[in-house]
Amino acid sequence: MVKIKIIVCIKQVPGTTEISINPETNTLVREGVETIINPFDTYAIEEGVRIKERIEQEPEMKDGAEVIAITMGPHQSESILREAISLGADRAILLSDRAFAGADTWATALTLQSAIKKINDWKLIILGKQTLDGDTGQVGPELAQMMHIPFIGYASRITDINNNKIIVKRLMEDRYETIQVRLPAVISVGKDINVPRVPSLRGKLKAKNEQIPVWDKNELGLDESKTGLSGSYTQVIKIFTPKHQYETEMFGGSPEEQVDKLYNKLNELNVL
């Protein structure tokens, strides 16, 4: 047997609401902006580490597990990978190339897929259910579709996992569902699945000294036309703040007259 590899896909997002938009590309300007791990991704890291710890306690799975954090972004994204290592990930990989800039969810999933294919013997991919900047929740299911493996969203508990299957309890709008699928698989998690730990001193020291490889489009064997803005099926055409206009009309007279005037006005506006 070999180690079960758990891939955790994370993203660097702005740590503030004070952001600006590039007027030419309509993408976020990330230079000079404080960044953090996407909050939902911290739960994905924690769950990956917990699964690893659970596997290592099983006598029949003596080879254990390994948690690998992956992110796609500029070179400063390395900081969140080091944070992931301090939180318990064993190693990390940075996908960075100017050709990746401006990617939509499809181009992002394609780049992640190309990287994951280079890692042998992985069994599970975990993501946060959505990111603060894009807020689409599409990368997880798109990644699973590209890799032709099962996807389970809104996971709230990993009931069981072994070398061949995983049983997941997930939260729906009005109920919980328990689903069993064969591995490999992709799951996305929300805040109700766990409470993320804080970095340990040992983890911080490991993160500081860890060598993090950087994979570009050539390393992944990707055609530039399939990455970044060039490979995106969707593009942001315009970003603007909606204008809210309000009109106020005052009704005078006695209370009875005011009621009549209000009724007539609502009737005129086809509200009634």
Distance CA 187, CA 166 (A): 10
Structure tokens at 239: 């970003």
Give the Å distances, CA to CA, from 36 to 116, 122, 222, 233. 23, 26, 28, 27
Beta bridge partners of 92: 69
- Answer whether 138's CB lies under 8 Å from 128's CB: no
| Residuewise pLDDT in 10s, the chain (272 residues) | 567 899 999 999 887 655 566 666 656 665 666 788 999 999 999 999 999 999 888 777 767 889 999 999 999 999 999 999 999 999 999 999 999 998 999 999 999 999 999 998 899 999 999 988 777 889 999 999 999 999 999 999 999 988 889 999 998 888 999 999 999 999 999 999 999 999 999 999 999 999 999 999 999 999 999 999 889 988 777 776 778 888 888 888 999 999 998 999 888 888 76
CA-based radius of gyration for the chain? 24
- Answer whether 128's CB lies under 8 Å from 40's CB: yes
Chain center to CA of 35 = 15
CATH of domain 4-226: 3.40.50.620
Residue 80's φ and ψ, nearest 5 degrees, are -75, -25
- Answer whether 28's CB lies under 8 Å from 13's CB: no
Domain boundaries, the chain: 4-226
DSSP string, 51-99: HHHHHHT-GGGTT-EEEEEEEES-GGGHHHHHHHHHTT-SEEEEE--GG
